[in-house]
């Protein structure tokens, strides 16, 4: 295999890595944003815990497993946004066009 073919393969792999990482962080950011819009009540968490205990009795669940801290989720949104922007810049540097990056 010539050096040019090997180099082209490496560049394609880097492009795919940049696109998949940007997509991953974008979807995690959106998922956490939707989680922020959900109600976070103790009664709902108890209900979910009871339902999961009936469905999967060999794994112990507590209501606290189904509660989330909005500050932690907000931090996750911001971290994923920063990572998304980082991978978009990397995608630009390896030659991914804007048409490909359009989400």
Given a cut of 80, whether residue 101 has pLDDT beyond it is no
Given a cut of 70, whether residue 5 has pLDDT beyond it is yes
* Three-state secondary-structure class, residue 40: coil
For the entire predicted model, the pTM comes to: 0.77
Cβ atoms within 10 Å, residue 74:
14
DSSP letter string over 8-54? HHHHHHHHHHHHHHHHHHHHHHHHHHHHHTS---HHHHHHHHHHHHH
The domains of the chain are located at 3-96
pLDDT band at residue 35, thresholds of 50, 70 and 90?
very high
């Amino acid at each position: 295999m010539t050096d040019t073919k090997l180099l082209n393969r490496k560049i394609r792999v880097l492009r795919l890595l940049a696109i998949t990482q940007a997509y991953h962080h974008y979807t995690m950011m959106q998922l956490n944003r939707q989680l922020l819009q959900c109600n976070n009540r103790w009664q709902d968490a108890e209900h979910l815990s009871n339902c999961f205990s009936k469905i999967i009795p060999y794994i112990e669940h507590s209501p606290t497993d189904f509660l989330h801290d909005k500050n932690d989720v907000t931090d996750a949104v911001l971290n994923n946004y920063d990572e998304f922007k980082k991978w978009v810049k990397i995608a630009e540097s390896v030659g991914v066009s804007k048409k490909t990056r359009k989400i």
